[in-house]
Amino acid sequence: MAPRPRTTPRPSRNREGRGALVLRAHHLLCALGFRGLGYSPEFVANMTRVVRALRRRPGRMVRLVDTPDAICRACPNLRGGRCRPAAGGRSRVPTRDRKVLRRLGLKPGASLTARAAYALIRARITPEDLGREFCAGCRWVALGYCEEGLAVLRAGASMSASRRRPA
């Protein structure tokens, strides 16, 4: 039987021997606002695991990309290896990722610790930037959770405190 095509990235190895977590750059922002909502039960369970890993292990390496990642792999919108929302139309997601990467001064594929990534976000992105620039058109941004999470981060809390209740 022919091998099935792989549509989601495998973790790459870093010097510590643990796999880097592959993340779309804009998902760093989504993780700040995550409160257990999502596209399906499988999506929520997987995103809960990813967000917990970011919160509990800030020293973990992340590789920031503009392609499907560890969160997308359980998303019903991932079709044929691309983000294709059910409503149709062109996904703005890769553009969103590239905008975040540019603001952070990084290129697609950049590897750094989760702590370093959130230090850059804290310094370079404001809560107001989300609705007007990075997350325009996102169905979740109107809830205000992501802005709140970023405000808490910028107020000096670690990423692990940037939520009101456990995911």
> Residue 120 interacts with ligand SF4 (CB under 6 A)?
no
> Residue 28 interacts with ligand SF4 (CB under 6 A)?
no
Amino acid, res. 25: A
Residues 127-166 that bind ligand SF4 (CB under 6 A): none
* Cα–Cα distance, 141 to 131 (Å, whole number): 7
Question: Is residue 71 within 8 Å of 8, Cβ to Cβ?
Answer: no
> Residue 78 interacts with ligand SF4 (CB under 6 A)?
yes
- Where do the DSSP E strands lie in 69-151? 78-79, 82-83, 110-113
Q: Which of 22, 72, 101, 152 binds ligand SF4 (CB under 6 A)?
A: 72
Residues 50-69 that bind ligand SF4 (CB under 6 A): none
Residues 81-100 that bind ligand SF4 (CB under 6 A): 83, 93
Q: What is the 3 state secondary structure string of 145-160?
A: HHHHHHHHHHCCCCHH
Binding region for ligand SF4 (CB under 6 A): 24, 71-72, 75, 77-78, 83, 93
